[in-house]
């Protein structure tokens, strides 16, 4: 069986500690580690910024600076290497501060044997791997949140729809996107925003709904998928502008209970279509329904779409919760939203921030919570937090040993949430839940 070499950096101003650490690692029979040494704060930070280490052992005392200072500076520079703090004397407050900075472990000099050192390093590497996996898994959701942010921005809907078409192309495997609006009185479809259509394709401004592929989607109000569309003469005859496409998906856009149009994705090659792509496209179509509804309201009122007043944030909050509430229910979470407290101005603040941060918080809840209550609380007059999202990260029940894998999973989930809240300028608190798990609260100001 092959043994993976773990690259470890030791930042310690005492060479004797480096020699001792190397001896401890040499005593391990079933592990292989490569240990490098940095004797001071500056060289340690430079080595960490190289990104070539799997884990870092940091002595608390580094001359005039401390290991906590190094962790803080490395994190600010974007270093993702898991770090284990080493101290000469056990200190609960130092341990707590290290955890607050994202430390993956804490060791006390004189009480470390080869197995404890190996276990701490393996745990740190495993934990960081889980954090990286969770971040990678959230990539699609992050793109969706970018779309959410666009659709909640105040301003003219038409330019935002063009940006949305580009974001949808980035979030899917389809390089061509068309957003069409439906006029039920004239029974026509019109392109309101496109991205990536070939130059030789000149889409007409108005098309009879019965004469187009996406028109059938609008009339039937259900998605349609075609693979190898270019070889289907019937489909080509219906909509010549998609004759070049090999793979094609069209989803009805519905807003406020009304059919608003269709979202169409196309690819010049034959690619497989799975349920994930359809679900993702459907979610995006739901987002589009609201923005197109804004455009329709402006036209009905005889106003320019750019003159729309910004809506009350309570409505935006409810819209976001609607989008994510159904998915939470499918995952077995009970969603509780306490109504906004009565006040003169309601829930006021930065609409763009609400549309960017709240979906990320809800996404974290969907990613890390497998059961329990997802609670969204609003505090319009609070000086600390205007919105608080709380959920449970499960852990084994009382009396059950927490093995290394379980501990790494729980720690990785908490670390991912902490990093996200910090990067978004929010807050994170934790407490024991009634169900025996860890209750996480993510707060934000507007």
Looking at 307, 323, 357, the residue that finishes a domain is 307
Q: Total structural domains in the chain?
A: 3
Judge whether 143 lies within some domain.
no
Q: Give 423's contacts (C-beta < 8 A, 6+ positions apart).
A: none
CA 227 to chain centre: 30
Whether 262 has a pLDDT exceeding 80, the answer reads yes
Quote the pLDDT of residue 339: 55
Q: Domain of 163: which CATH number?
A: 3.30.450.40
The sign of the CA dihedral 279, 285, 286, 288 is positive
Does 369 share its domain with 272?
Answer: no
Judge whether 130 lies within some domain.
yes
Judge whether 146 lies within some domain.
no
Q: Domain of 374: which CATH number?
A: 3.30.565.10
Does 320 share its domain with 293?
Answer: no
- For 183-191, what is the mean pLDDT? 88
Does 94 share its domain with 130?
Answer: yes
- For 172-188, what is the mean pLDDT? 88
Judge whether 339 lies within some domain.
yes
Whether 252 has a pLDDT exceeding 60, the answer reads yes
Low-confidence winner among 112-116, 164-168, 196-200 (lowest mean pLDDT): 196-200
Quote the pLDDT of residue 127: 66
* DSSP β-ladder status, 334-337 and 387-393: unpaired
Percent of the chain past pLDDT 90, that is, above it, reads 5
Does 302 share its domain with 162?
Answer: yes
Quote the pLDDT of residue 263: 92
Task: Output the DSSP codes for 61-102.
Answer: EETTEEHHHHHHHHHHTT----EEEEESS--HHHHHHHHHTT
pLDDT digits (tens, 9 = 90+) for 304-347: 444 333 345 776 677 677 767 777 777 778 888 765 543 444 56
Does 202 share its domain with 238?
Answer: yes
Does 287 share its domain with 323?
Answer: no
Q: Label residue 398 by pLDDT band (50, 70, 90).
A: very low
Does 168 share its domain with 299?
Answer: yes
pLDDT digits (tens, 9 = 90+) for 125-141: 776 665 555 555 555 55
- For 192-196, what is the mean pLDDT? 86
The Cβ of residue 128 has, within 10 Å, a number of other Cβ atoms equal to 22
Low-confidence winner among 126-130, 233-237, 250-254 (lowest mean pLDDT): 233-237
Quote the pLDDT of residue 65: 87
Quote the pLDDT of residue 138: 53
Q: Give 35's contacts (C-beta < 8 A, 6+ positions apart).
A: 8, 9, 10, 18, 21, 22, 25
Comparing 408 with 294, the larger pLDDT belongs to 408
Does 124 share its domain with 159?
Answer: no
Cα 341 from Cα 354, distance rounded (Å): 17
Looking at 75, 109, 137, the residue that finishes a domain is 137
Does 166 share its domain with 270?
Answer: yes
Whether 421 has a pLDDT exceeding 70, the answer reads yes
Quote the pLDDT of residue 154: 55
Quote the pLDDT of residue 163: 80
Comparing 360 with 311, the larger pLDDT belongs to 360
Judge whether 294 lies within some domain.
yes
Quote the pLDDT of residue 368: 81
- For 395-403, what is the mean pLDDT? 52
pLDDT digits (tens, 9 = 90+) for 277-316: 677 677 778 778 876 776 665 555 444 444 333 345 776 6
Whether 400 has a pLDDT exceeding 50, the answer reads no
Judge whether 280 lies within some domain.
yes
Judge whether 147 lies within some domain.
no
Does 302 share its domain with 341?
Answer: no
DSSP H helical ranges for 172-226? 213-220
Q: How high is the mean pLDDT of the chain?
A: 76
pLDDT digits (tens, 9 = 90+) for 24-77: 888 887 777 889 999 999 999 999 988 888 889 999 888 888 888 888 888 778
- For 386-398, what is the mean pLDDT? 75
Quote the pLDDT of residue 321: 76
Range of the domain at 14: 5-137
Whether 209 has a pLDDT exceeding 50, the answer reads yes
The Cβ of residue 379 has, within 10 Å, a number of other Cβ atoms equal to 17
Looking at 307, 329, 350, the residue that finishes a domain is 307
Does 167 share its domain with 251?
Answer: yes
Quote the pLDDT of residue 37: 92
Percent of the chain past pLDDT 70, that is, above it, reads 70
Does 298 share its domain with 317?
Answer: no
Q: Give 145's contacts (C-beta < 8 A, 6+ positions apart).
A: 356, 359, 360, 363
Judge whether 125 lies within some domain.
yes
How open is the CA angle 354-357-360, to the nearest 5 degrees? 135
Q: Domain of 67: which CATH number?
A: 3.40.50.2300
């Amino acid at each position: 069986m092959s043994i993976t070499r773990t690259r470890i950096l030791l930042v310690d101003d005492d060479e004797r500690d480096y020699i001792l650490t190397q001896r401890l690692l040499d005593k391990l029979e079933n592990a292989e580690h490569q240990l490098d040494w940095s004797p001071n704060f500056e060289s340690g930070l430079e080595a960490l910024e190289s990104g070539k280490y799997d884990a870092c052992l940091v002595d608390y005392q580094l001359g005039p600076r401390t290991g906590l200072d190094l962790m803080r500076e490395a994190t600010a520079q974007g270093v993702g290497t898991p770090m284990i703090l080493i101290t000469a004397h056990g200190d609960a407050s130092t341990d707590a501060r290290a955890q607050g900075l994202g430390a993956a472990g804490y060791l006390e000099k004189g009480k470390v044997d080869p197995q404890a050192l190996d276990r701490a390093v393996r745990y740190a590497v495993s934990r960081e791997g889980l954090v990286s996996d969770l971040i990678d898994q959230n990539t699609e959701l992050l793109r969706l949140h970018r779309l959410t942010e666009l659709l909640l921005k105040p301003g003219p809907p038409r330019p935002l729809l063009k940006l949305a078409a580009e974001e949808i192309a980035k979030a899917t495997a389809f390089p061509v996107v068309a957003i069409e609006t439906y006029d039920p009185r004239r029974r026509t479809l019109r392109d309101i925003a496109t991205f990536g259509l070939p130059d030789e394709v000149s889409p007409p401004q108005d098309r009879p709904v019965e004469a187009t592929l996406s028109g059938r989607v609008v009339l039937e109000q259900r998605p349609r998928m075609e693979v190898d569309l270019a070889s289907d003469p019937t489909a080509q005859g219906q909509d010549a502008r998609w004759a070049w496409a090999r793979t094609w998906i069209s989803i009805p856009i519905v807003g406020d209970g009304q059919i608003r149009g269709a979202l169409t994705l196309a690819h010049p090659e034959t690619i497989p279509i799975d349920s994930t792509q359809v679900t993702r496209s459907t979610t995006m179509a739901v987002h589009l329904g609201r923005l197109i509804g804004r455009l329709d309201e402006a036209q009905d009122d005889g106003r320019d779409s750019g003159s729309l007043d910004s809506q009350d944030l309570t409505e935006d909050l409810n819209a976001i919760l609607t989008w994510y509430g159904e998915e939470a229910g499918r995952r077995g979470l009970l969603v509780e939203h306490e109504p906004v407290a009565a006040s003169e101005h309601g829930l006021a603040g930065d609409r763009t921030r609400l549309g960017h941060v709240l979906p990320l918080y809800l996404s974290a809840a969907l990613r890390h919570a497998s059961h329990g209550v997802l609670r969204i609380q609003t505090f319009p007059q609070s000086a600390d937090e205007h919105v608080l999202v709380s959920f449970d990260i499960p852990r084994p029940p009382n009396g059950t040993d927490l093995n290394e894998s379980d501990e790494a999973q729980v720690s990785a989930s908490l670390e991912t949430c902490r990093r996200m809240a910090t990067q978004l300028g929010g807050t994170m608190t934790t407490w024991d839940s009634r169900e025996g798990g860890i209750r996480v609260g993510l707060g934000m100001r507007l």
